[in-house]
Amino acid sequence: MDFLLNCAPFSAKMALIVQKYGGTSVGSLDRMRNVAARLKRTRDEGNQVVAVVSAMSGVTDGLLKMAHELTPTPSERELDVLVSTGEQQSIALVAIALESIGVEAASITGRQAGIFTTGSHTRGRILDIDPTLMNQLLAEDKTLVVAGFQGVTPSGMIHTLGRGGSDLTAIAIASAIKADVCQILTDVDGVYTCDPRIVPNARKLPEISYDEMLEMASSGSKVMQSRSVEFAKKYGVIFEVRSSLNNNPGTLVLEEHPAMENVVIRGISIERSQARVTVIGIPDAPGMSGRILGALADAEINLDMIISNIASDGFARHSFTMHSNDLGKAQAALKPVLAELGSGAKVETESGIAKLSAVGIGMRSHSGVAATMFKALGDAGINIGMISTSEIKIAVTVDERHIEEAARAVHDAFKLDQEPVA
Ligand code: ASP
Ligand code: MG
């Protein structure tokens, strides 16, 4: 008779949900119990769930530290083998926590999930996912707990996907198993118009486009790994960023739709600890910029803003911003180039600056956006250093001491605390 009980009507509303839990959300056994309870609740509401989990917070860093204590240059192959164990611990523990409350669960490593990668160790890229085993276990109605951040090359080498890579695992799996919903559950409530610790009246956004999210991430808002957002955009995976600690709706990240352009600025992000390098007295001749940028690229310096002006008197100047940690490296890399540029060439540097970026797809169709932003900063008595723009972003540098005030001034100027009128 038992099997009759299993013949409960199959609810048409049953959804397949991917939920990703980050390191903080699984940071202790108590938190894992909470995750298990939440997964059970999602199930009890009639859904099937695939959880993707990170290593417990601090574990990845701790493992990396041990390796670097043995040698400053551990091999990346072994680092992948090492750090992937962090996620392997948490999937087993979360599955055990689920079973302890009566939910049939199965932990699954990246290899078992059929996540095939390419590229190099510690920075693997997902090539393909073979969801056969996941689908089989879902058909048995198991709740799956998949290790984030890891995959395997077609020849069987363990790869990790770059720091924060569990987001990518979740999004890729959601696409591979055609999930109805993909939720990135984290320790923040969603994506805000600005960091609420800096701008107290910042507002949680109901939705944001992939492109805006990418611009926000690349200009300092560290909600999610950028590669994961790029992947989601490429494969059209809509996902939601929401809190693992409460039930509030979060922020939906999706392809832009026409109504989104009505909002001029979606959000503001800031990035501290920036430095500026300016090369002056560059002869106005072909190949000069390539030579300068080439030297910085060879030194693996990640440049952010690049600004140059039209040459006058036969000389040009280029300014770049970078993280202030890279300043010394940049000066060293430019030294031999200066000698080639001639006696008039000189390098000037400035640190202690920060970048403020206003991001919004609406600026494509609205005018006067830069003027509003610059006026707000001027009225607040804040001096603008460099300015750069893209189609959906205006960024300025200011003295780092004034960055928070600058963020509040621009946030106010665009009335980002108020619900936009449709
Ligand atoms: N555990 C990995 C890290 O700390 C991956 C992740 O958390 O998403 O980067
Ligand atoms: Mg982590």
Is residue 4 over pLDDT 70? no
Q: So what's the pLDDT on residue 422?
A: 62
Is residue 378 over pLDDT 50? yes
String of DSSP letters for 46-109: T-EEEEEEPPPTTHHHHHHHHHHHH-SS--HHHHHHHHHHHHHHHHHHHHHHHHHTT--EEEE-
How would residue 8 be classed by pLDDT, with cut points 50, 70 and 90?
very low
- Pocket residue to mutate for ligand 1, from 60, 146, 231, most atoms within 8 A of Cβ: 60
Determine the length of the chain.
422
166-203 tens-digit pLDDT: 999 999 999 999 999 999 998 888 999 999 999 999 99
Does the global pTM surpass 0.95? Answer: no
- Pocket residue to mutate for ligand 1, from 149, 161, 169, most atoms within 8 A of Cβ: 149
66-82 tens-digit pLDDT: 999 999 999 999 999 99
Q: So what's the pLDDT on residue 400?
A: 98
Could you tell me the distance, in angstroms and rounded to a whole number, from the CA of residue 112 to the centre of ligand 1? 19
CA nearest ligand 1 atom 8, residue: 164
Could you tell me the distance, in angstroms and rounded to a whole number, from the CA of residue 59 to the centre of ligand 1? 9
| Gap between the Cα atoms of 46 and 10, Å rounded | 9
Is residue 392 over pLDDT 70? yes
Could you tell me the distance, in angstroms and rounded to a whole number, from the CA of residue 263 to the centre of ligand 2? 33
| Gap between the Cα atoms of 349 and 344, Å rounded | 16
**Among 204, 206, 217, 189, which Cα is nearest to 257's?**
206
| Gap between the Cα atoms of 398 and 420, Å rounded | 28
23-61 tens-digit pLDDT: 999 999 999 999 999 999 999 999 999 999 999 999 999
Q: So what's the pLDDT on residue 6?
A: 40
Domains defined along the chain, listed by start: 16-187 (3.40.1160.10), 268-413 (3.30.2130.10)
Q: So what's the pLDDT on residue 313?
A: 83
**Among 113, 170, 109, 103, which Cα is nearest to 136's?**
113
Q: Is the CB of 110 under 6 A from ligand 1?
A: no
Average pLDDT across the chain, whole number:
93
Residues 6 or more apart whose CB falls under 8 angstroms from that of 199 comprise 193, 268, 407, 408, 411, 416
Is residue 146 over pLDDT 90? yes
How would residue 342 be classed by pLDDT, with cut points 50, 70 and 90?
confident
Q: Is 219 within 8 Å of 355 (Cβ atoms)? A: yes
Largest Cα separation within the chain, whole Å, is: 94
Percent of the chain with pLDDT over 90: 86
Q: Is the CB of 175 under 6 A from ligand 1?
A: no
Q: So what's the pLDDT on residue 343?
A: 85
- The encoded tokens of residue 125 equal 């890229």
Could you tell me the distance, in angstroms and rounded to a whole number, from the CA of residue 91 to the centre of ligand 1? 13
What average pLDDT score do residues 156-165 get?
Answer: 96
Is residue 239 over pLDDT 90? yes
83-98 tens-digit pLDDT: 999 999 999 999 999 9
**Among 294, 299, 291, 292, which Cα is nearest to 329's?**
299
How would residue 10 be classed by pLDDT, with cut points 50, 70 and 90?
very low
CA nearest ligand 1 atom 9, residue: 163
Q: So what's the pLDDT on residue 224?
A: 84
Q: So what's the pLDDT on residue 19?
A: 98
Q: Is the CB of 149 under 6 A from ligand 1?
A: yes
Is residue 319 over pLDDT 80? yes
Could you tell me the distance, in angstroms and rounded to a whole number, from the CA of residue 233 to the centre of ligand 1? 21
How would residue 421 be classed by pLDDT, with cut points 50, 70 and 90?
confident
Which residue would you say has higher pLDDT here, 186 or 421? Answer: 186
Is residue 276 over pLDDT 60? yes
Which residues, in sequence order, are bridge partners of residue 17? 49, 181
Q: Is 112 within 8 Å of 131 (Cβ atoms)? A: no
Q: Is the CB of 55 under 6 A from ligand 1?
A: yes
Q: So what's the pLDDT on residue 1?
A: 35
282-318 tens-digit pLDDT: 998 889 889 999 999 999 899 999 998 887 888 999 9
